[in-house]
Amino acid sequence: MTPLLALTVGDPAGIGPEITVKAARDPRVDVARLLAIGSVEALRAATRLVDDPPALREVGSPAEARFEKGTLDVLPVPSDVAVPTGKLSAEAGQIAFEGVERAVALALAGEVDGIVTAPLNKEAIALAGHRYPGHTEILAELTGTKDFAMMLTALKLRVVHVTTHVGIRAMLDKVTEERVLTTIRLAHNALRDMGFDEPSVGVAGLNPHAGEGGLFGDEEQRVITPAIERAKAEGIAASGPWPADTLFGRAVAGDFDVAIAMFHDQGHIAVKVLGFETGVNATIGLPIVRTSVDHGTAFDIAGTGKAGHDSLVEAITVGAAMAQARRVAKEQT
């Protein structure tokens, strides 16, 4: 059966509602059945921005959804306060947060096969009283997950990060042998879930030229190499540390199935240069499938009809494939 994905609309003041209605009418998302979760008012406003928009049908649960052609089933997140388009607000942050909460609850209960998230705004959810560095940390807490990581994909490139939303100085303390090893394991297991029998994992160095034998820093020798050796001892096809300025190109060329980045921009820059409009963010290590667009709320163009929805289409496509792979693996056990 076609996977059922909960699609959170995200911050109603951003481009989430617009890209949601655009994606819902795109034939490329026929790989999944979609249940939108979010502000119905924002979705209605978004339908006025696009040609031939889907009709919106409010439901109380996934069981009530019909998934009819030309119609988008919506599980509403109600609000008594009108949210202005393109403006930062606590009200918008609360709606976005509640949407994620509902989607996660449905996924944990097995009522949906996975979730796909449109962008929320970190400042807005903080104004609403929910202080998280981002979507990933919210999902980890809601699912009770200790070990997790962010995997970005663009075309043939897959990147998993050792650290993400943390300053550079603080990041240096977080790149530990245990965290590097955990990330390698998460990447290996995620690709196994995606159908790779023996995924190859290329690990980036932290310093220029992967430290150049200790000339430019000793993290490679002291932290990263020991983690790689331990991963190898567990049967994981890991190698490195490789200079970051060549690793990602080699991964695109097929030398590695997944690349491990040490920090946020090291991996994000590679992915966004390769596929800014089509990048996908997947949280790995969770008990549920979760994929997302790899861009923000874009308040500057919200309400203009200019937002591109290709990243959301890719997130739906990847999410459907991951959900299907998990289903097959479960049936085989």
C-beta separation of 94 from 79 below 8 A: yes
pLDDT 10s digits, 296-305: 899 999 999 9
pLDDT at 20: 97
Give every residue of the chain whose pLDDT is below 50, as ranges.
none
CA 168 – CA 263 distance, rounded (Å): 8
Q: Residue 37 is which amino acid?
A: I
Residue among 235, 276, 239 nearest 256 (CA) = 239
3-state secondary structure of 80: coil
Domains and their CATH numbers in the chain: 1-144+289-333 (3.40.718.10), 146-285 (3.40.718.10)
The full DSSP string for 139-167 is: HHHHHT-SS-EEEEEETTEEEEES--SS-
pLDDT at 28: 95
Q: How many CA atoms lie within 13 A of 265 on its CB side?
A: 4
pLDDT at 333: 67
pLDDT at 138: 93
- Give, as one character, the DSSP assignment of residue 6: E
pLDDT at 230: 98
pLDDT at 134: 81
